[in-house]
Amino acid sequence: MAELLASGGTVEMVRVVLDNGADAVYVGAKGWSRRREQYEMDDEEVIASARYARSLGKVLRVAFNTLPASSEIPLLLAKAEKFVGEGIRDFILTDVGAMKALTERFPGVQIHASIGCTIVNAEDARFYKESGATQVVTECRMDREEMRRIRQEVGVGIEVLVHATTCYTYLGRCTMSSYARQEWRIDGEGKNHFLGSPNRGGLCYRICMTGWDQQGEDGSVEAGKVVLPNLAYFLVDDIPDLIDLGVSTIKIQGREYSVSLVGQMVRFYRDLIDSYLGDRSSFRMEAWKERMAGIVSARDAERREKTEALISESGLSAQN
């Protein structure tokens, strides 16, 4: 049966998503997970959350999905050692070198190759499997036939984002934020935090959404207020097919949203999945659309507010 995985940006959020039916929750180690610090966790919060998950028979997964420098690999391994010693065995990584180092140091850990790995075909999936990944997050626009091929030919678990955002490029590969704001600081553990660079431990300021002028060769403005595509998407209609395909994990993003909204998201997907599994022959997606509409509206409102705040923080002006 497909695992329902949801985000845990705080200890409170971890408890809410697990109590609302998620089978697993992912959290970000502070400075290592492409989010603002307030949506990441220090070591003790991670460990406490993992204990709560285990008390329910569920799984906590720790994200180390940034691209570390050579000097940061020992820091990553030391932090992972602390977590493994506390019974945490599941991790999300983007960097293939870190992936290999982690699996060699701690045999038997479960590694999920992050969306930032940009896995678009079976050979990509095979490469990450050979590097230690037990599961891969497929690129968000991948069709089901490609997923089926990966599952059959590579034999690696498949994770699909059903509630997330697209990007004008591939998720995890954009560097636009670092042009607007590039600062760095080293924390007490020696980890470098690069503001404006989510790939190195900072966050994305979503400056693609500010509205850009497209200029011709003579400098004239050919098009004004061009916003690059960065849209929320909801693959609700695909969930029955994904379950029938045998995907390992159905994933919901949203660490930066309110705890109450994330709890609603999880309960919605839990109920939908259980309804389909309970009686596939009589399941009708139309019955779920009205309930979904309220979640979409609330999420869009919160996302707009977060986007405006991020753009303002970057020093650029948001689109009118």
Query: pLDDT digit string (tens) for 185-209?
Result: 788 887 877 776 777 777 777 777 7
Mean pLDDT for 219-241 is 77
pLDDT of amino acid 190: 78
Q: How confident is the model at residue 109 (pLDDT cuts 50, 70, 90)?
A: very high
Instruction: Give the relative orientation of helices 43-55 and 11-19 as an angle to the nearest 10 degrees.
Output: 20
- Report the range of poorest mean pLDDT among 38-47, 98-107, 294-303: 294-303
Distance CA 194, CA 111 (A): 25
Inside any domain, residue 283: yes
Greatest pairwise CA separation for the chain in angstroms: 65
Alpha carbons 57 and 60: distance in angstroms, whole number: 10
Residue 320 lies inside a defined structural domain of this protein: no
Categorize the per-residue pLDDT at 319 as very low, low, confident or very high, splitting at 50, 70 and 90.
very low
CATH number for the domain spanning 125: value is: 3.20.20.70
| Residue 35 falls inside a structural domain | yes
> Which domain range does residue 145 map to?
3-170+229-314
Domains: count for the chain: 1
SS3 of 255-305: the string is CCCCHHHHHHHHHHHHHHHHHHHHCHHHCCCHHHHHHHHHHHHHHHHHHHH
Looking at the domain assignment, is residue 202 inside a domain?
no
Rounded to two decimals, what is the model's pTM?
Answer: 0.87
Instruction: Give the angle 252-295-287 at the CA atoms, nearest 5°.
Output: 100
pLDDT at 210: 79
Contacts of 80 (CB under 8 A, 6+ apart): 62, 64, 91, 102, 105, 106, 109
- Show the tokens assigned to 75: 């820091």
| Least confidently predicted of 142-151, 205-214, 256-265 | 205-214
Q: Domain for residue 253, yes or no?
A: yes
320: confidence class by pLDDT, cuts 50, 70, 90? very low
The two structure tokens encoding residue 55: 């008390």
Q: What are phi and psi of 241, to 5 degrees?
A: -65, -35
What mean pLDDT value characterizes the chain?
88
pLDDT grade for 318, boundaries at 50, 70 and 90: very low
